[in-house]
Chain A
Amino acid sequence: MSELIGVARPRLDAPDKVTGATRYAADGYVHGLLHARPVLATEAHARIRGIDGSAALALPGVVAVLAASDFPIASAGTDRTSEPLARHEVVFAGQPVALVVGESEAAAEDGAEAVLVDYDALPAVVDVEAAMDVGAPLARTVEETDDEAGDLESIHAGVDHGQADDPAEELSGNVLDRITREEGDVAAAFASSAAIVEGTFRTPWVHQAYLEPQVCTAWLEPSGTLVVSTSTQGSFVTQRELARAFDLPLDRVRVIAEPLGGAFGGKFALIEPLAVGAALALKRPVRLVLTRSEDFQATNPASAQVTRLKIGARADGTLTGIEARMIVDRGSNAGWGVEGISSLLVAGPYNWEAHDLRGYGVQTNRFTFGAYRAPGAPTAAFALESLLDEVARALGLDPIELRLKNAAVEGDVAVSGNPYPVIGVREVLERIREHPLWAERDSLPENEGIGMAAGHWPGGLEPAAAVCRVDSDGTMTVVTSAADMSGVNSGFAIIAAAAFGLSPDKIRVVSADTSSGPYAGGSGGSKVTYTVGAAVLRAAESARQKVLAAASQELEIAPDDLEVEDGIVRAVGAPDRSITVEELAKKALRFGGRYEPIEGHGGSAQTSGAPSVAAHLSHVRIDRDTGEVELLRHVIAQDVGRALNPALVEGQMRGGVAQGMGWALYEELAHDEEGRLLTGSFLDYAIPTAERIPEIETLIVEVPAPDGPFGAKGIGEAPVVGAPAAIANAVAAAAGTRLYELPLTPPRVWKALRS
C-alpha cells in the first residue's frame, strides 16, 4: 500500500485544534487544585540574604510561600532540575527564587507580589567575550558539581567533544567547555588560496516563542505515585529528571505529555520541578502556568553566539581551509551548550582540505541556555554562508556553483571525522539553481536583492518502540510515547496504514504516558519520524503477520499467498477468497476466541544518521531611508528523504523559514548592563507575523534515507538553518554592504548603509 505514501492529508489533530476541542496541559480539571505563581529574581547576579513571605502568607487564599529549602530535592548541582528555585545565589534576572501557592491564581499572584527578597548584589557578567578573560568576575561563585545533566544534552544531537584543549590558551573560569577540532594544515591551506575572507558574526539570544507558555500540573495519587501532566516534548526524560531530583523510584513518577501548544526545543523538563516540588511539599495538586512575560524571563532560549570565521578558496572555487572560533553564551547552563554542534556545523555540508574549529561554552548571568530548533545551526550557517558569498564575489563565481563544487556526498569525511551518510546537498542546490527566481537576480529594480544559502541538520538517533493494535471494529490504534510535535503522529498513521494494509482513516494514534507506553525519547533532534516511525513500521508489520496467520487459518491458504489491502485479506491472484481484518479481529478479541490478538510490537535502534539539507532563495527589498527590510519572496528546496505527507512536510518547511525570518530580521532578547531583560514581552520582542511573512515556495526533494521508514527522515530542523543566511545574503545584495550581526533591524541596516 505504498500508494498511501506521499499524499497530502490534514493532520489528525487539526479538527480538535481548529475547533478549540483540544485539552492542553492548562485545561485539565484536577480536584483540589492549587495554583502557583513564581517570584522571579530582579537581580542578574546576587546572593540571597533572605526571603520574607510573611506579608504574602497573611493574604487571603495564600497557602504557602516556598523557597528552595522547602523543596524535597535530593540531587546536588546547579542545573534547573536540581535547583528549580535559586538556593543561595541568583545567576540570572528572572530566575525563580520562590513560589507562592494559593487557592486561586489571583491569590497566588497577590502573594507573589508581596514576597520580599533581600539581595546582596554581585557583579553581573553580561558580556560573553569579556567573561572569558582571565580575571573576569565569575557568573557563578558557588562551586557545585553538575555531572548529571547529560540526559538533556543527548536529546538533541550526540556530539563528541573533539580533541584536547589548547593548553596555551588561558581563559577564565567562566569558560565551562572548550572544543577543538583540527585536521590538516590550515595555514598551508590559506597559503594556497586565491581568496581568503573573514568576519566576526554575532547572533543574540532568541526565544522559541511557542504559543503556549510553559505549564505543568503535578499531584500525588493516594498510592503515592507522582503524576505530572505537562506541556513537554519528552515524557521519559522528564520522568528521569524528576526521579533524579526528588530521589523517587522511576515507577512512582508518571509523566503525561499533554498536547503541545508549541515547543521548538524549549520544553524538556524545565518548570516541572517547580510544580512537583510544591506538590510534594504541600501534598496537594499544584499547577504552574507561566505568563508570557515570565516565560520570556525564566525559561531557556537559544544562546547568543559570537563567531570568528575565516575561510579560503582556490581560484576555481575549491574550498581550502576553515578556521572558526565560536563563543557560545550558555547563561547559567553548566550542563551543556551548543559549542560542540555549532563548531561542527560551521563547516557546512561542504568538503574542506584543512580545518581548525574551536568552540567555547561560556557562563554568563543571562538566562539558562536551552534548545531551539536546530540548536547552534542557524548561527553557524549565517557565518559560513555569508562568507561563502564573499568568496564567490572575490573569485567572480556563481554562489550556487561555488557550493556545488564543494558539496559533500555520501562517503566524504565530515569535520567530525565521520563519513557522511546519504545526503542531498547537490540535489537541493541544483533545484534552486533551476528556479526562475535565481535568474532574476541580475535584473532587479533598485534596492532589491536575491540571496541564497544552504543549511543542514545531522538528525538525531535514539532507540524507540511502538505498538500497533487492531481493535474489534477493524480499526487500528498505534501507541507510542512520542510527544505529538510537528505532526509526527499523523506520519505514524501513514506508516502504519501502508505497512499493515489499512486505510489511514481507520488509524488513530495515541501518545501514551510513561506508565503505559513503549519507550520513545523526546520529540526533538529531528529524529522522531526516523526512529519512532521505524518502530511503528515494524510494529505494523508484526501486526500484519498476526492478521495473515489468522486469515491463513480461516481461508486455509498459506500466509505467503495472502495480501492485506484496505482492511481486507485476500488470496494473491484470487481476490474473491478474502476476509476482512474486522472479521478476523472480532474472531480474535472475544471470549473463547481462536486467534492471537492482531497486535504488533516493533522497535528500532538506528545507527546511521539521516541528515536533511535545505537550500534557500530569498528576495528582499530595502528602504534606504529607514533601513526597513521587506521579505518579498522565499523559496526553499529541502531533501526530506521521502515525504510521507507532503502537507505536513511543507508545513515544516514554511515554519522553518518563518522562524529563520525571525532570526534574520526581528528576534533579539536584549539585556541592560545589569543583566535585566529589556525585551520581556511581545511589545518589545518582535516575531514574524502573518502580515510580514511572504509567499514561501516549498520544493520537496526526495533522496531516500536508507534506514528511514519508506525512506523518510526527520525534517523539522533543517529548514530553519539556512534561512537567516539566505535573507542576510539577499540584504547584502540589495544594500551593497554586508551586516555581521543579526537581527537585521531597521536601525542596523540604516547605519550600515551610511557607513
Chain B
Amino acid sequence: MIPAATRYERATDVEHALELLGEPDAKAIAGGQSLIPVMKLRIARPSLVVDISRLELRGIEERDGALHVGPLTTWADLVDAELPVGLEAITECAREVGDLQVRNLGTIGGSIVHADPASDMPAVLLALGARLAIRSPEGVRDVALADVLVGPFTTALGPQDLVTDVVVPTPAAGSGSAYASVEHPASGFALVGAAALASPGDETVALTGVGATPFVLDGDPREAIAAAEIFGDRFASEEYRRELALVVAERALESARARSGR
C-alpha cells in the first residue's frame, strides 16, 4: 500500500497543467479519490503527478440553457447546490457517493475520466445528455460524454486533454430526473444503477454497472435491457443483473415521472 516513487508538480493554470501533462506517464490528480488507491496498489504508477486541484475549474453555474459544472466541483459542492428543476438526479446521486470524506474531496471530473464501469454519476450525466468541454494544446473541443467513455477505465481522452467544463442541458419545463441503484454490499459501487430523465414526450434511461461503460438505453427500456450485453461475475450473475436492471430502471423512471409532475 505504498505507491511507487513518483514526482509531484502543482499546475498554476490550465496551460501549465497541459504542459506538465506532456510528459510521458504523467497523470493529473484532483481529489485523488480514485487515483491514490490505484497508486497505492501500484496498478497506476505515474512518473509525474500533476496536481490540478487549485485550478479555477470548480463551481456550478446556470447559463445559456445549461448547467455548467466545473470538473473540480466536489460531490459535497453538488449536494449543497441548488440545481435547476429537472436535475434532481444529480443531487440524488452525489449524495450517495462514498462517505463524507470522499464527497469532500472527490470531483465530478475525476469520476468521469476515471471511467469506472460501475460509477454512478456518468450514468446520470448520460441520461441528462451531458457534454464535455475539453482543452488540449490544440484548443477547446466540445464532445458528448457518451463519446468519451469507451471502455472500463478507458476514455477517448489523450494524455494532454483536460476536461474544463461539464455541460448539462437544462431540461425542458415539466421534466424530472432520478437515480436508483442496488449497491454491492462491500464496495458500495452499483451492481446496477439506472438514471432516468422524464421530459414532456420523452424519457431517457442510462444504466451503469452492467457493461464496459455506462450507456443510454435505446428505445423501450424493457426491450433494450433484454437485448443489452450484460456482464456477470461471481457475486452477481448476468441473469440477476439483467433483472436488477429492469427493477432499477423502473424505479428510476417512476421517481423521475413523479418529479416531473406526472
Q: Which residues of A contact B (CB under 8 A)?
A: 105-106, 109-110, 113, 291-293, 625-628, 665-666, 670, 672, 678-679, 682-687, 745-747, 750-751
Contacts and interface: CB of A to CB of B under 8 A. Distances in A.
Interface in B5-50: 5, 41-42
A627 B235 CA distance: 13
Contact of A684 (B1, B42, B186, B247): B186
B240 interface: yes
A678 B234 contact: yes
B4 A686 contact: no
Between B42, B186, B243, the greatest number of chain A beta carbons within 10 A of the residue's beta carbon is seen for B186
A113 B42 contact: yes
Interface of B is mostly: loop
A683 B40 CA distance: 14
B185 interface: yes
A106 B236 contact: no
A747 B237 contact: yes
Contacts of A626: 182, 244, 247
A106 B2 contact: yes
Contacts of A106: 2, 5
Contact of B240 (A293, A687, A747): A747
28 contacts: A106-B2, A106-B5, A110-B4, A110-B5, A113-B4, A292-B1, A293-B41, A625-B243, A625-B247, A626-B182, A626-B244, A626-B247, A627-B240, A666-B185, A666-B186, A678-B234, A679-B186, A682-B186, A683-B186, A683-B187, A686-B185, A686-B186, A746-B182, A746-B236, A746-B240, A747-B235, A747-B240, A750-B240
A630 to B, nearest CB: 12
A17 B259 CA distance: 47
Nearest to B243: A750
Nearest to B241: A747
Contacts of B237: 747
Interface of B: 1-2, 4-5, 41-42, 182, 184-187, 189, 191, 234-237, 240, 243-244, 247
B77 to A, nearest CB: 23
Contacts of B182: 626, 628, 746
Contacts of A679: 186
A745 B235 contact: yes
A746 B184 CA distance: 9
A627 B203 CA distance: 27
A678 B235 CA distance: 10
Contacts of B235: 684, 745, 747
A670 B234 contact: yes
B153 to A, nearest CB: 14
B240 A751 contact: yes
Contacts of B185: 665-666, 686, 745-746
B193 to A, nearest CB: 12
B2 A109 contact: yes
A678 B41 CA distance: 15
Between B4, B42, B185, B234, the greatest number of chain A beta carbons within 10 A of the residue's beta carbon is seen for B185
Contacts of A684: 186-187, 235
A308 B196 CA distance: 47
Contacts of A113: 4, 42
Pairs A-B, 6 closest by C-beta atoms: A686-B186, A686-B185, A683-B187, A291-B1, A625-B247, A109-B2
Nearest to A743: B185
A438 B167 CA distance: 55
Contacts of A685: 186
A750 B245 CA distance: 14
